[in-house]
Amino acid sequence: MIQKLKPFSPPPLDLNIETEVRFFSKNQKPYFTLSFKLSGELHEIDLLDQPFTKQKKSHELWKNTCFEWFLKPHSGTTYWEFNASPMGEWNFYELEDYRKNLKESSLLPEPKINAGFIPQSKTHMDHYSYTLECSLESYHPQLIAGQETLHMAITSVIKWKSGSISYYSLQHPKEKPDFHSKKGFVIPISYPVSFKKSE
């Protein structure tokens, strides 16, 4: 299902962000793919025009343009955060409670990230959208910790070349941007997931 991220406050320039989560099977293993599709004033967004380099782990990606998702079991306080940069940098973290004791997690394998501009029209090649797609093996017994349901939050940090920053999320439950608020985990994921076979 395609869902639209909402800006916390009106962005300085026009920007639309759509996301989609897909589950599928590959080599008898469950995977999921999360994609972000951007359209609007893309040339004014920092990092989008930088070359996509070799994937590597990096820290504090949220200080610049960054695409994120969070996972939290139905009960308990532990949750996980994933960050991906347009340049191919990424990281996966575990927190034991709300914004508490952030540390790198190895519960999931390295993701496969693809990103770049896509022409919107065959007749108007100067009209583009931008897509970042992250695919990874979705199941790990320790990750779901025996829970039947996980809850997901999907967010984006957009840094404009002017220096201003816009915060996008499926839901903004507080008076200021807060991607860690448990009220923002609005997508339920039940296990076992009914996976579709990949083409």
Report yes or no: 24 and 184 within 8 Å, Cβ to Cβ: no
CATH of 2-197, picked from 3.40.1350, 2.60.40, 1.20.272, 3.30.70, is: 2.60.40
- Start-end of H helices in the chain: 141-144
Model confidence pLDDT, tens digit, residues 128-149: 899 999 998 765 555 655 556 7
Which sequence spans correspond to the domains of the chain? Answer: 2-197
In whole angstroms, give the CA distance from residue 31 to residue 23: 6
Model confidence pLDDT, tens digit, residues 176-195: 999 999 999 999 887 655 44
Model confidence pLDDT, tens digit, residues 87-140: 999 999 999 999 999 999 988 888 999 999 988 765 554 578 999 999 987 655
